[in-house]
Structures are given as structure tokens and as C-alpha cells.
Amino acid sequence: MMQLNQLLLSMAGQSAAVQTYLDSIASRLSTPVCHKGFNADLEFRYPDERTYRAQLGLVGEGVGQAFKERGFSLMVQIVGSDGYPRRTAGQRFKVCLYSQDHPPKRILQNISGKKILRGTIEAESDNEGLVKFANIVVNEVSSHYMNDAFYLVVQPTCPDIKPYTFDSFSVRARKPMKRSARCSLEDIAA
């Protein structure tokens, strides 16, 4: 009976070792290895070595910083691998925020439980391949998250178009006031 008990304990130990080994393999498969990319389910995927028929290029100014609950606009264009714009109408796109954790996580709500993004967060490409997000509003400051920044991603629904990622997108609490708009104690006394 003692030998049977030892045999069962040995088998249980081996089973635990096999499970640990399988867990380590699974974690290595999902760990960041290369540069970041997104799959069609709007989740990070590593590595993103596939080739795309087209990609998104920024039109106009980039967005490095925004202010909480103040809208900003963003425009991207579908371009081919040769760098020339593609005339592709009707493609759907969505703006998403991801944390800078490893691996990054999609952020849907702010710390108060409200939607973190509102406004124009979905758009379609026009005949020139332009995608316009007229008013994107972020309802959270980035200082509550790792690295004091987000990944802002313009994600296509079509898997043949590479998403556009702003790597260090920060959101501040309020826009600083201009010096002339501030009033001093002397102004109030007068």
C-alpha cells in the first residue's frame, strides 16, 4: 500500500511538472517578441510579420497629446505598398485605445466606469481613400496608466490593411490657460 501511495504521489508530481511546462510554452507563444500589430479582433498580436496589401498613412498633423474631454480630429489615408494612395471607398475603421502594458490591453472604460472614447470613433473611407475622424474625445488622462501614455490605434475591419498606431499618445487634464487670460489679485482689486 505504501508503494502505491508513493507511485500516486510521483505521478501527481509529474503531472504538475507537465502542466507547468505546457503553461510556459503557452506563455511564450503569446509573449511580445517583435514589433506590435493587431488582428481583426482588435487585439494585439505578436509578431506581426505578415504582408499587407495596403496600410494607413497619416494626413496632416500627428496626434501626440490631447486634453481630457476635449475633441480632436484625425485623418488617415489608405496607401499601397508603393506609397501611393489607394482609391478605396467604403472600408470601415475604428479608433481604439490600448494600454502600454506587456501585452497591451484594450481600454474600453475609464477608471470611473464610463466609456473611455466617444465622438467620431468609427468612420468609412471616401473615394480618395481618406478616413476622417472629425471629433474624437478621450474621457481619461493617461497618467493613470503605465508609461503615462496610450497606444492610439486606427484599426481597419479589413485584414488586408495594416493599422496605424500612435505609440506615445498622452492625454492631459486640461489645456493650459494663456498668460493674458489669467487674472491676478491686482486685477480683482481694481
- Assigned domain for 21 exists: no
Task: Give the domain range for residue 88.
Answer: 46-172
* Cell numbers given for 163: 493599422
- Assigned domain for 140 exists: yes
Residue 86 sits in a domain of what CATH number? Answer: 2.60.40.10
In the predicted structure, residue 178 carries a pLDDT above the cut 50: yes
* Residue 123, pLDDT score: 93
Burial of residue 58 (number of CB atoms within 10 Å: 0-12, 13-18, 19+): middle
- Assigned domain for 50 exists: yes
- Assigned domain for 147 exists: yes
- Assigned domain for 84 exists: yes
pTM, two decimals, is 0.65
Neighbours of 149 (CB within 10 A): 19
For residue 188, the SS3 value is helix
Alpha-carbon Rg for the chain, nearest whole angstrom, is 24
CA atoms of 58 and 182, how far apart (whole Å): 36
**Mean pLDDT, range 69-83, rounded to an integer:** 89
